[in-house]
Amino acid sequence: MKQAFRVAVIGCGAICGNHIQGLLSAEQQICALCDVDLSQCERIMEKYGLPDLPVYTDYLQLLDAERPDAVHICTPHYLHAEMTVAALERGIHVLCEKPMAISHEQLDRVLAAAKRSTAQLGVCMQNRYEPTILRAKELAQSEGIRAAYGDVVWKRDADYYASGDWRGTWREEGGGVMINQALHTLDLLQWICGMPERVVAHIANDHLPGVIEVEDTAVAHFSCPNGSSFHFFATTACGATFPAHLRFYLNSKKKLHAEASQLILDGEVLFSKSSGDAHGKAVWGAGHTLLISDFYRCIGEGIPFPIHGEEAAKVIRLILAMYGSNGAPISL
């Protein structure tokens, strides 16, 4: 029989429901909720038919009173590091929403705490579990990659940024399209192509000046140690949201094109998901459920969860280097 862990969720906003669904599907025991706005906890309990759970506005009180086996951190970006460190220091496993940190200083603190802790740290980069991506990775790596390209072209308007004070700010969101929406796709590119050694990048906010401080558009060129390279483009300034794309030029001179719903090699469709899979927020399908199930499998079996701190730190290092570049090369 599957082992059920006692799990608390901190932050009951927009993404929380994906975690609740994933936990229910993985047959874990949700033992408590935390949000500074208690009506959010009530909303979640009602929406998912949960029993009357203990609720907290202070996450430290929750950690000390409930002593859960694991916590899911679904709060604004600037809180991830302090909440992760507090849980790991108490020997509580952490599944943290992306990004795991928004500065080098936070990154170092989280990685040090993960190293010291008896508990595991996992980061929610669920697109690594998408079947399309797994096939693309296998194919691209077996044939060898000469060049690659990724793009994220989405719409995020002033109403979206008004939905949370933390959004659109350097201090609390830690950046714009790169640290939030495009992080997943850049992570997949480096996961498949390998960690680059150099980046040259430009960022801009041409669409919503006066509304957000952070970038809504970014472009970057990454050079890899083996002489290959990859390019990246991301914007939330488009009038519509399109599926994110990954493209690979293989050593065989074939072109591989991956998106959430399909994988195409030189015009031949190798894999296609049902057209019922939505774009936009659901663009990458059921990844949360797959990732959460794997997280508890790993903890139950006492083996390392694959998207651990050091692994999740790679894309943060790339994004922080993009922010620091301003058109000049940065070594990674």
Ligand X SMILES: NC(=O)c1ccc[n+]([C@@H]2O[C@H](COP(=O)([O-])OP(=O)(O)OC[C@H]3O[C@@H](n4cnc5c(N)ncnc54)[C@H](O)[C@@H]3O)[C@@H](O)[C@H]2O)c1
Q: Which residues bind ligand X (CB under 6 A)?
A: 10-15, 34-37, 40, 59, 74-77, 79, 97-98, 124, 126, 164, 180
Residue 184 C-beta: closest distance to ligand X, Å: 6
H-run or E-run covering 235: strand 229-235
Residue 36 C-beta: closest distance to ligand X, Å: 4
Residue 149 C-beta: closest distance to ligand X, Å: 21
Give the residue with the Cβ less far from ligand X, 35 or 216: 35
CA distance 157 to 172: 18
CA distance 308 to 302: 14
Residue 123 C-beta: closest distance to ligand X, Å: 9
* Phi and psi angles of residue 41, each rounded to the nearest 5 degrees, phi first: -65, -45
Residue 187 C-beta: closest distance to ligand X, Å: 11
Give the residue with the Cβ less far from ligand X, 75 or 289: 75
Count CA within 13 A, CB hemisphere, residue 184. Answer: 24
CA distance 86 to 81: 9
Name the nearest CA neighbour of 266 among 279, 278, 253. 253
User: What b/e readout covers 256-275, taking b as 16+ CB neighbours within 10 angstroms?
Assistant: bbbbbbebbbeeeebbeeee
Give the residue with the Cβ less far from ligand X, 260 or 330: 260
Q: At what angle do helices 287-301 and 16-25 cross, to 10 degrees?
A: 50
Q: With contact defined as beta carbons under 8 Å apart, do 188 and 135 qualify?
A: no
Give the residue with the Cβ less far from ligand X, 101 or 139: 101
Give the residue with the Cβ less far from ligand X, 207 or 288: 288
Nearest residue by C-beta to ligand X?
A: 13
Give the residue with the Cβ less far from ligand X, 101 or 220: 101
Residue 208 C-beta: closest distance to ligand X, Å: 18
